[in-house]
Structure 1
Amino acid sequence: MMKNNRMIPLLCTLFFLGSAFLPLVQGASFSFVLDFSATTKEQRISEESVVLPSSFSWRDINGVDFTTPIRNQTPYPSCESFALTAAVETMVQYKVGFPFNCDLSEAHLFFFSGGNIIWGSYPENDTKFLKDYGIPDEACWPYPKDKYQYPLNTTAPDWQNRTVKITNWSYIPADPVAIKTALLTNGPVPSYFLVYDDFVYFKKGIYQHRWGNTRGAHYMAIVGYNDDPGYWIVKNSWGTKFQEDGWVNIKYGECGIGTINFYLTGVYGKFPIVYVDDDNTAGPWNGTKEYPYLTIHDALNNVYDGYTIYVMNGTYMEHVIIDKRITLMGENKNITIIDGEGIDDVVTLSVPDVKISGFTVQNSGTQSLNAGIKTLSLNSNATIENNILIHNAIGLFLNYGYAPSWNIVRNNTILNNVKGIYTHWANNGEITGNTIIQNEENGLEMECSKYSVIKGNIIRDNGGYGIYLRGESDQNTITGGNSIQDNAVGVKISESDGNKISRNNFIGNLQHATFYNSFLTNWKRNYWDDRMVLFPEIIYGSIGKREFSWMNVDWYPLWKP
């Protein structure tokens, strides 16, 4: 995390003296001489020749974010390893040509380069290790959650065959122009920063030190800048609860930011991504872009947790069982097709933390619980986004995702299935921005599924219910402009309590909404196209075994959709 203040004079002295011999740190197997002449002639030339824009960020390169998600270095003082790894991950993704959730092992870099759980390590040790040995993928040594869970033999025995290396490293002068040039021409810049009390509590805006005592030295990755009004865009490593979801803007020169900076060059080695192409019928097949695997099944047999499988355009007649925590990414959702040929489930997720995007998934079996995509893992944490699910018994079946499962279903088109989405014991989901249309029965059916958010979806032309909550599907929130249109019934709530239905558009349904034995439902500020002017909207339903007529009320419906 942060370093003890007694290290700051040592770091600064080493930096300004120019050449010093670093002592070995605990667990390190090497030492080296700092070489400040490593600011190369080529780097100086690039500084003179590059025209600097007024702003730049690796989070937005022509609309593409090449950075990786915010990590959390707790419980170790391993900020240098996290800052350097953040830079390498972005450089890898940029070299590949697209972001693919590159995830490298900070724990391996920290401990193998001599990291100490009491005071941390030297960034120079990490950079030398990156050059000489490299950093493997996260699955090689997942970052520990407990402070004393760190015996040095916990890394995978084949780690040396799984590493990403850099060709060289150097310092960048404490000069904003040099740092900006490095950002534009190379990648993120790991940089020193002195933490004060107020930084820990800072949330939004541009950070300037105002109050409090020093807490210690820290390293973060500068990923961009903005000259108006003048700040660095910085990736921290304290998780998403600090600053702005883990990102922070820091005024130029504030608290030493930009005084000690590292320039990493030339990432190469075993990137955690493999390729699949059904056109490569002749082989060879090693998963590289030049020689991709022929099938998704072959790729799954040759990857580790945390890898990405990138599937080229084509039609793959497979039943894919994903038993590793990977990202499955299609080249183009319209023409990258996984076809189940009318048999069983097409794609099955048997482990948590799987991400699927960029596919058409079609033609499952016809039995009632066959699905295009099905989850079969407790606490599944699946992310299903930007897919087309078509001609299946169930487009997407989220099954057994107990709290805190947090399945994310986002920006998919789910059409012409018997059921669009069916969730069973799948809590805490986020179902947002999907188009769920023309399914034979229900668009979205939730059974025994709680605490989910259904937001911003188009749910239209479904033969049964647009949204159907049943069997103790309690405390869900249906909000944010869902367009519930031209279904047989817009929303039905059955034996499910405490749900909130607000700010949705009910248009053209044969019946907009109804309920059975469901209590404490909050209908609020929805648009109803059959509303009588100046009157609230009455939602008719029934309660009790004999189904006595009852009603709910949306007291303040919207005038316009």
Structure 2
Amino acid sequence: MQKQSILKTNTLILVLCTFLFIGTALFPLVQGVQRESDSFVVPLATEKPNPTETLVVPTSFSWRDINGVDFTTPIRNQSPYPSCETFALVAAMETMIQYKVGFPFNCDLSEAHLFFFSGGNILWGSYPENDTRFLKEYGVPDEACWPYPHDKYQYPLNTTSPDWQNRTVKISDWSYIPADPVAIKTALINNGPVPSYFLVYQDFLYQKTGIYQHRWGKVRGAHYMAIVGYNDDPGYWIVKNSWGVNYQDKGWVNIKYGECGIGTINFYLTGVYGKFPLLYVDDDNVAGPWNGTAEYPYLSIQDAINHAFNGFTIYVKNGTYNEHVVINKTITLRGENKNTTIIDGGGLDDVVTVSVPDVKISGLTVQNSGTLLYNAGIKTLSLNSNLTIENTIIHDNEIGIFLNYGYAQSWNILRNNSIYHNTKGLYAHWANSNRIAGNTIVMNDENGIEMEHCMRANITGNIISDNGGCGIYLRGASNDNIINGKNTIRNNTVGLKLSESNNNIITKNNFINNLEQASFYNAFSTTWKRNYWDDWRFFRARPIQGFLGQRQIPWLNFDRHPAHRPYILP
């Protein structure tokens, strides 16, 4: 009997263990099929939130528009790991940091470091409490410390920098926020974005614009996102997702109050402090010390670059910096005011040389390069450079901007710059897929824009005038470019010239008062369409004169549908 009793007991234990194992194994299936970009979380116990100041909240608010300034950071992509809670928390911190600094500077912290160091699992994710505790005790470093691995097989080969503890941002504390819209709104306004729980259904994967309400499909899994704002009319949260720009409205989504659990589990982060990925430069700090903080900025731009890590922003205070800057790290170089923050080359060599990809330059004046043939105000020397120059003044250089040897896809962006009084305004050599938009390129001694063996550029919305040579000159197999979108090409010796460059599209531009409006030599398959020519008042096609072959046989192209009124720049 005793043996039978023991046998029955053991059998019962075995059955219970079997049920427990099966139940545990099937738990994710009960919750829904997990996507790579989702993670499952256990519902959290409610804790008393930190006290927040009570206020009468406005009917709308967004960290994307604080008096016209967007303090959020770009949409990130958590794939291939289920690290949504980490991305939501980091998104909140990045906005809080930028607001504390006083301006957005593309703050970028390392989600990979926080996720893996706080115990994140590549199969099922992490717990947000683990992340918040880690943020309070250890902090999170800048993105360059451990760039997020977008290939599953990079882990665990990709590890963090050994000096990460000297590069961290921490929070002073954290707590939960009640599942109460007024409490969430108060926290948003008083403190910053709110990481919040959300239950993903199938239809959410197909949501684009408008306000999301669940209508169809099964549960796919639990998820965390950052609430960055709200609008009471008609009643929705403004939410930042972490699935990249191909989901929702380029990564942003409006979710109806209370829909799919949004706002039920919320986190309140306080007191960001530490090593922000931002260094200051001020030529007034002659006496030192110099550590790149707002209190003790570096004296020179080059010194700040030498102490920066990839992904840092260097903020240059007003002043004249007599130096030759070499940017050999992936940074953002930003001036306080483009009219009064000046880099002066003193008439020697290149003023700013960019030797790595993905650099951003804005808010500066760059002047006085050397006068040798290829000296430039700003010069690129890297393959696939992906350089962005915007809101910058470039003048009195041999070449204003020299985009050099990008070969494959350069993807440079030149936007809203003033380029004047150079020998050549912009010269691009073997640099493809550039976007040149909204610039003022005027009064250069030779050509405003000259491109040699450059393909697939998009030139749009520029004012190109009073240049001594051509407004735009495409030569040496500069094929498949698009010159459209209301460029005003005015008062140049030649408005636009094509030489041995094919398949270019020239449409909807203004050609006004150029000594010669347009010409071509050995340029085939050119599309001229709907341009405005101030010297052509007829309703028939406007001829463009050119030459073919070594014997320079006269030839004609035609703009068959010329515009009869000039286009207005946007």
In the aligned structure 2, how far is the partner of 1:254 from the partner of 1:493?
58
Matched, 1:254 2:245: no
The offset of 1:216, in angstroms, is: 1.1
Equivalent residue, structure 1, for 2:399: 394
SS in 2 for 1:160: helix
Read off the aligned partner of 1:497 and give its amino acid letter: N
Native 8 Å contact 1:112 1:152 kept in 2: no
Moved more, 201-210 or 269-278: 201-210
Read off the aligned partner of 1:198 and give its amino acid letter: D
Task: Show CA shifts across 1:93-133 (max 9, x none).
Answer: 00000011111000001100111111111111111111111
Native 8 Å contact 1:191 1:219 kept in 2: yes
Question: Which of 444, 466, 472 matches 1:467?
Answer: 472
Alignment of 1:375-524 (within 5 A): 375-524=380-529
The offset of 1:172, in angstroms, is: 1.2
In the aligned structure 1, how far is the partner of 2:533 from the partner of 2:493?
15
Native 8 Å contact 2:86 2:114 kept in 1: yes
**Cα separation, partners in 2 of 1:474 and 1:14, compared to 1, 3 Å:** same
State the identity as a percent.
Answer: 71
Task: Show CA shifts across 1:412-455 (max 9, x none).
Answer: 10000000011111111111111100000000111111111111
Give the superposed CA RMSD.
1.7
Alignment of 1:113-132 (within 5 A): 113-132=118-137
**Cα separation, partners in 2 of 1:415 and 1:154, compared to 1, 3 Å:** same
Native 8 Å contact 2:41 2:127 kept in 1: no
Native 8 Å contact 1:345 1:370 kept in 2: yes
Equivalent residue, structure 2, for 1:140: 145
In the aligned structure 2, how far is the partner of 1:367 from the partner of 1:418?
11
Native 8 Å contact 2:41 2:222 kept in 1: no
The offset of 1:404, in angstroms, is: 3.0
In the aligned structure 2, how far is the partner of 1:543 from the partner of 1:4?
70
Question: Which of 157, 171, 192 matches 1:187?
Answer: 192
Matched, 1:357 2:347: no
Read off the aligned partner of 1:341 and give its amino acid letter: G
Task: Show CA shifts across 1:202-228 (max 9, x none).
Answer: 222222222222211111111111122
Alignment of 1:56-95 (within 5 A): 56-95=61-100
Alignment of 1:181-260 (within 5 A): 181-260=186-265
The offset of 1:348, in angstroms, is: 0.2
In the aligned structure 1, how far is the partner of 2:451 from the partner of 2:205?
41
The offset of 1:460, in angstroms, is: 0.8
Read off the aligned partner of 1:420 and give its amino acid letter: G
Native 8 Å contact 1:5 1:217 kept in 2: no
SS in 2 for 1:469: strand
The offset of 1:238, in angstroms, is: 1.3
In the aligned structure 2, how far is the partner of 1:180 from the partner of 1:139?
33
In the aligned structure 1, how far is the partner of 2:265 from the partner of 2:110?
24
Equivalent residue, structure 1, for 2:275: 270
Task: Show CA shifts across 1:136-177 (max 9, x none).
Answer: 000000111210212277100010110000111111111211
The offset of 1:402, in angstroms, is: 3.1
Which of structure 1's runs of 4+ aligned residues deviate more than 6 A?
A: 10-13
The offset of 1:191, in angstroms, is: 1.1
In the aligned structure 2, how far is the partner of 1:12 from the partner of 1:384?
43
Native 8 Å contact 1:416 1:438 kept in 2: yes
Equivalent residue, structure 2, for 1:112: 117
Read off the aligned partner of 1:406 and give its amino acid letter: W
Read off the aligned partner of 1:505 and give its amino acid letter: N
The offset of 1:277, in angstroms, is: 0.8
**Runs of 5+ consecutive residues of structure 1 not aligned to the other structure:** 19-35
Read off the aligned partner of 2:237 and give its amino acid letter: W
**Cα separation, partners in 2 of 1:532 and 1:64, compared to 1, 3 Å:** same
In the aligned structure 1, how far is the partner of 2:182 from the partner of 2:550?
75
The offset of 1:6, in angstroms, is: 5.4
In the aligned structure 2, how far is the partner of 1:89 from the partner of 1:5?
34
In the aligned structure 1, how far is the partner of 2:31 from the partner of 2:163?
35
**Cα separation, partners in 2 of 1:355 and 1:5, compared to 1, 3 Å:** farther
Greater gyration radius: 2
Task: Show CA shifts across 1:350-370 (max 9, x none).
Answer: 111111111110000101210
Equivalent residue, structure 2, for 1:529: 534
TM-score by length of 1: 0.93
Read off the aligned partner of 1:146 and give its amino acid letter: D
Task: Show CA shifts across 1:519-559 (max 9, x none).
Answer: 22111111111112212221111222222122221111222
Moved more, 247-256 or 433-442: 247-256
**Cα separation, partners in 2 of 1:540 and 1:82, compared to 1, 3 Å:** same
In the aligned structure 1, how far is the partner of 2:176 from the partner of 2:479?
56
Moved more, 50-59 or 76-85: 50-59
Native 8 Å contact 2:352 2:378 kept in 1: yes
Task: Show CA shifts across 1:189-208 (max 9, x none).
Answer: 11111222222122222222
Native 8 Å contact 2:399 2:427 kept in 1: yes
TM-score by length of 2: 0.91
Native 8 Å contact 1:318 1:346 kept in 2: yes
Native 8 Å contact 2:146 2:158 kept in 1: no
SS in 1 for 2:152: coil
SS in 1 for 2:196: strand
Read off the aligned partner of 1:185 and give its amino acid letter: N
In the aligned structure 1, how far is the partner of 2:56 from the partner of 2:436?
44
The offset of 1:4, in angstroms, is: 4.8
Question: Which of 167, 181, 200 matches 1:162?
Answer: 167
In the aligned structure 2, how far is the partner of 1:404 from the partner of 1:123?
40
In the aligned structure 2, how far is the partner of 1:355 from the partner of 1:366?
25
Read off the aligned partner of 1:158 and give its amino acid letter: D
The offset of 1:5, in angstroms, is: 5.9
Alignment of 1:333-348 (within 5 A): 333-348=338-353
SS in 2 for 1:125: helix
Native 8 Å contact 2:345 2:367 kept in 1: yes
Paired residues in the alignment total 535
Equivalent residue, structure 2, for 1:544: 549
Read off the aligned partner of 1:327 and give its amino acid letter: T
Read off the aligned partner of 1:244 and give its amino acid letter: D
Question: Which of 313, 318, 321 matches 1:316?
Answer: 321
In the aligned structure 1, how far is the partner of 2:308 from the partner of 2:543?
56
In the aligned structure 2, how far is the partner of 1:194 from the partner of 1:478?
47
